[in-house]
C-alpha cells in the first residue's frame, strides 16, 4: 500500500461563525520555537476587522437577550467539546510554546476548567454585581448589570490557549460579543478553538478570531464607533498601546490596559467579569 499524502490544513479567520480567508489575500508564516515552519496563517486586514465588527454587533442583540442560564449551558458545551479534542490541543500547545507535554496538558486542562468556571458565573453575575438600593420614598431601586456590547481584545502573546480562553470567556458570559486577536506567533490553538466554537452552540458572531498584527488592527478598532470596549492585555506597553487608548477616548470606550506579565494559571477572580458590564439603575414605585 502506498503511503498516504499529508492532508494540509488551511488556516483561516473566524468571522460570523464562518471561516473566510483574509479579503486581502495576505498570509504570514508561523514557526515553532525551534524556527521550523508550521503553517501559513491568514493576516487579517482592516476590512476583515470591519466585517467582524458587523458580525459581532448583529450577534450581541440575540446573545445578550438570551437567559443567563442558557449562556451558561453554551459555555459548558464549549468545555465538553474541548475535552473531546484534548489530545489535539495538548500537541498544538506543546508545539507552539515549546513546553513539555505535561505542561501543555496542564494548560489545556486549566483552559477547559476555565470555561466551566465562567459557565457557573452566568446566572450569578446579577446577584453579585447588582443590588437592591435603599432609597428615601415609596420606590424600589435596583442596580442591574448589563453587557457593554462589542469588545475588541488582544489575547496574551505567550499563552496560546489558556490566556486566550481567560480573556474571551469573561467577555461573552455576560452577553457581550468579542473580536479577539490571538497570539501573533502562536495562533494555531486559537484556530482549533474556533473550530470548537463553530461546532458548539455559540451563535455565529459572538466570538470572532482575527489572526495577524494587532499593532495594525487595534488602533483602528479603538476608533471604531461600534466597538464599545478594548482589552489590550496582550499588547506590549508602548506607543501603539498608547495610540489605541487615545483613539478609544474619542468614542468613550472602556480600556483594559496591557498586562504582558499576567499569570494565567492563577485564580481569575471577578475583575474581568466586572469590567465588561455596565450598571443600569431602575426606579419603580411601590404598590403598582
Residue pLDDT, tens place only, 38-69: 999 999 999 999 999 999 999 999 999 999 99
Domain carrying residue 245: 27-285
- CATH code of residue 110: 3.40.605.10
Residue 50 lies in a domain: yes
Residue 8 lies in a domain: no
Who contacts 199 (Cβ-Cβ below 8 Å, separation ≥6)? 81
pLDDT digits (tens, 9 = 90+) for 92-151: 999 999 999 999 999 999 999 999 999 999 999 999 998 888 888 888 888 889 999 999
Which residues in 258-277 are b (16+ Cβ under 10 Å) and which e?
Answer: bbeebebeeebeeebbebbb
**Domains held by the chain: number:** 1
Residue 11 lies in a domain: no
Residue 16 lies in a domain: no
Residue 201 lies in a domain: yes
State how far the alpha carbon of 89 is from the alpha carbons of 23, 94, 136, 192, 242, in Å. 28, 8, 56, 8, 34
Q: What local confidence, expressed as pLDDT, does residue 46 receive?
A: 96
* Cα–Cα distance measured from residue 49 to residue 46, given in angstroms and rounded to the nearest whole number: 5
Three cell numbers, residue 146: 448589563
Residue 17 lies in a domain: no
> In this structure, what are the phi and psi dihedrals at residue 112, rounded to the nearest 5 degrees?
-65, -45
Residue 72 lies in a domain: yes
pLDDT digits (tens, 9 = 90+) for 106-120: 999 999 999 999 999
Residue 21 lies in a domain: no
Amino acid at each position: 500500500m502506498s503511503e498516504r499524502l499529508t492532508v494540509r490544513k488551511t488556516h483561516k479567520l473566524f468571522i460570523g461563525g464562518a471561516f473566510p480567508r483574509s479579503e486581502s489575500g495576505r498570509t504570514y508564516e508561523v514557526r515553532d520555537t525551534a524556527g521550523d515552519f508550521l503553517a501559513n496563517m491568514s493576516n487579517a486586514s482592516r476590512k476583515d476587522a470591519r466585517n467582524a465588527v458587523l458580525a459581532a454587533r448583529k450577534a450581541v442583540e440575540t446573545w445578550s437577550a438570551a437567559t443567563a442560564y442558557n449562556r451558561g449551558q453554551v459555555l459548558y458545551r464549549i468545555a465538553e467539546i474541548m475535552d473531546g479534542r484534548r489530545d489535539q490541543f495538548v500537541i498544538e500547545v506543546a508545539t507552539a510554546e515549546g513546553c513539555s507535554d505535561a505542561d501543555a496538558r496542564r494548560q489545556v486542562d486549566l483552559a477547559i476548567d476555565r470555561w466551566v468556571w465562567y459557565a457557573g458565573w452566568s446566572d450569578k453575575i446579577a446577584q453579585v454585581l447588582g443590588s437592591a438600593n435603599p432609597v428615601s420614598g415609596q420606590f424600589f431601586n435596583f442596580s442591574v448589570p448589563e453587557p457593554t456590547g462589542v469588545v475588541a481584545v488582544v489575547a496574551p502573546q505567550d499563552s496560546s490557549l489558556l490566556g486566550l480562553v481567560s480573556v474571551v470567556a469573561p467577555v461573552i458570559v455576560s452577553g457581550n460579543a468579542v473580536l479577539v486577536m490571538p497570539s501573533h506567533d502562536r495562533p494555531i490553538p486559537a484556530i482549533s478553538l474556533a473550530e470548537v466554537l463553530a461546532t458548539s452552540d455559540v451563535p455565529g458572531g459572538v466570538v470572532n478570531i482575527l489572526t495577524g498584527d494587532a499593532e495594525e488592527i487595534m488602533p483602528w478598532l479603538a476608533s471604531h464607533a461600534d466597538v464599545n470596549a478594548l482589552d489590550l492585555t496582550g499588547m506590549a506597553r508602548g506607543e501603539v498601546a498608547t495610540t489605541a487608548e487615545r483613539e478609544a477616548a474619542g468614542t468613550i470606550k472602556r480600556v483594559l490596559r496591557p498586562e504582558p506579565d499576567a499569570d494565567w494559571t492563577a485564580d481569575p477572580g471577578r475583575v474581568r467579569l466586572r469590567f465588561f458590564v455596565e450598571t443600569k439603575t431602575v426606579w419603580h414605585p411601590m404598590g403598582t
